[in-house]
Structure 1
């Protein structure tokens, strides 16, 4: 299928003809005004649809039947467009504003694990612009786009996703270093350390966290998060006692900073560390605190909390059945929302339970 990097009235007309629709029917199909389509057809190559319309046209073409796509390619070829290279234009000031708004929308989508719409918003810009031709504002937005795309792949969390996330983060970090924005570069280094931990490279992750916990480029909150994550890596290595000391200190700082969400996450991680130390009484106490105060708002937060709770319940034969039920619910939610890393964690817990 032909790829349209930048729609003009010519490509829009070709798509209308390929769909065999009138101007009015095409406008209704797209959900835009008839006058808008009429303008495209009048000005042809001299007009460029708005960013939202560009995305709608992309979607309609992608969802069209193969026969429609073939007709579209033939129409482009007859107009001499198929073989004419089209350079993505340098975004204007108005484009920058639209781009920034799309990034805000993508962040909301990621917080809800709506990966499909987030990808649509981010792809729109990654495929539209060439970073080497952007001004400083455009390069900053491109770096943020790469970062959010990395966040999406990290949240999805398959092995392939984590490899891709690391590459995207590295590219974004290089951009922010070039733009002399050290805080953004350091935040990405923190994300790279998370990818290391998720990939099972625990010693390397702990080392990165330790360095970033003292890095003045980061805010105090980010440095405390790094200290909490040192404890996470240590706990996964079986060094529960050292992990608990670090996690308690981080939890106190989150309390002082009035960060209830981070404080609740610390309670959850402390619960797992106590479970690793064989102290199920404290593990249950901490996980109940996390469950009563955490109030998860996203599928990921629900899965993480339920998985931690189930892991602790499975450690006691008296509560093992409840643990299996809770874990099954977490797996269903993770599968529904494409949370690959969480599914791998759940499977590892099940395998360990079977071997016990």
Structure 2
């Protein structure tokens, strides 16, 4: 697949022709002014788009099909810019403009992941992670490579791809190794926390609780991350049936989020507390806490909406009088999880359904 190290007007024109678009249609496709495209074509190799526009051109090329790539490489070859194996410009290391674009793409990746736009996030990350090998990068490049790898781990974790060679565990471990090489203890500790999450999601609850407990007192982490570790200690304990101790630990973490002004974490803590109280048989308290979480959650996060609906449905299923409502809520959560590719959440929903069905059959 073709890539461009540094766009000029010549490459931009080649892309327009490869897409078989008019100047006006190409400008609309990129979201730039018609005059901007005309300027690129007039000045050719004597003009270079701004870094943010370079990123837009990168995306337009990467999202094109194989036929467009072939026409694009052919046009550049005919213009005296022959394509090398797999890339148009051979470069031994990134330039400053690459670093700026790479940093911008990481910000865009974070935004895409927050909305569970996994396809776009994967595209943004893959184009950098496949462009260079770590051995070709200086310290700044290695830092960006490690951040990209950690975000790839976040993507894989959210998709439920936890273990194996193409998994969250593998990506987090790789990022951790690079941050260790760069001697950035805070990032290393954050990757330790991410790896503990994967351990919990893989069902190793006792081991995850031990890791969280250690990280909750780790000075390499910020106060917020230490509070999150404490909250997740409670989550692992509650999943393992130790609801009373879990409630005490999570309540302390909730107070810390309140003190720090971390509204999103505070909301998530109420959701997890609600499930712990459900496990302890305190359904009235659980419903009160889940109502707080549902009314304060980030409204534009599909992941959080699915988690909230799953928790709410789980609580409703615990009372015979609200079982039907609980099943309806879980159905809604399952549809959203399927829509956004949240495989781990789907597995959790199915487990809750099966457990509820078993309880009904025994009663």
Measured against the shorter chain, the TM-score band is 0.7 to 0.9
| Residue in 2 that maps onto 1:169 | 172
| Residue in 2 that maps onto 1:245 | 248
Alignment check: 8 A CA contact 2:270 2:293 kept = yes
Q: Which moved more, 1:269-278 or 1:162-171?
A: 162-171
1:210 aligns with 2:213: yes
| Residue in 2 that maps onto 1:36 | 40
Alignment check: 8 A CA contact 1:232 1:243 kept = yes
Partner Cα distance (2:322, 2:343) in 1: 27
Alignment check: 8 A CA contact 2:162 2:198 kept = no
2:83 pairs, out of 68, 81, 84, with 81
Deviation of 1:235 after TM superposition, in Å, equals: 1.0
* TM-score of the two chains, using structure 2 as the length reference: 0.83
| Residue in 1 that maps onto 2:100 | 97
Deviation of 1:5 after TM superposition, in Å, equals: 6.0
Partner Cα distance (2:294, 2:331) in 1: 18
| Residue in 1 that maps onto 2:138 | 135
The answer for unaligned runs of 5 or more in structure 1 is: none
Segments of 4+ moved more than 4 angstroms:
7-32, 47-80, 82-86, 159-163
| Offset from partner CA, 1:208-264 (integer Å, 9 cap, x none) | 111111111111221121111011111111222221221122222223333332222
Deviation of 1:76 after TM superposition, in Å, equals: 7.2
Partner Cα distance (1:103, 1:62) in 2: 16
Taking a change above 3 Å as real, the CA distance of residues 250 and 23 of structure 1, as seen in their structure-2 partners, is closer
Partner Cα distance (1:128, 1:165) in 2: 21
Taking a change above 3 Å as real, the CA distance of residues 339 and 138 of structure 1, as seen in their structure-2 partners, is same
Question: 1:105-254 counterparts in 2 under 5 A?
Answer: 105-159=108-162, 164-254=167-257
| Offset from partner CA, 1:108-147 (integer Å, 9 cap, x none) | 2222222233223323322333322322222222221211
1:275 aligns with 2:278: yes
Partner Cα distance (2:54, 2:320) in 1: 57
The number of aligned residues is 351
2:346 pairs, out of 339, 343, 346, with 343
Taking a change above 3 Å as real, the CA distance of residues 134 and 317 of structure 1, as seen in their structure-2 partners, is same
| Residue in 2 that maps onto 1:328 | 331
Taking a change above 3 Å as real, the CA distance of residues 302 and 320 of structure 1, as seen in their structure-2 partners, is same
* TM-score of the two chains, using structure 1 as the length reference: 0.84
| Offset from partner CA, 1:67-111 (integer Å, 9 cap, x none) | 555555666788763559854442233332332222222222222
Alignment check: 8 A CA contact 2:267 2:292 kept = yes
Alignment check: 8 A CA contact 1:235 1:273 kept = yes
The answer for unaligned runs of 5 or more in structure 2 is: none
Partner Cα distance (1:244, 1:193) in 2: 20
Alignment check: 8 A CA contact 2:179 2:187 kept = yes
| Offset from partner CA, 1:321-355 (integer Å, 9 cap, x none) | 11111112212222222222111111111122222
Partner Cα distance (1:155, 1:262) in 2: 17
SS in structure 2 at match of 1:33 = helix
SS in structure 1 at match of 2:167 = helix
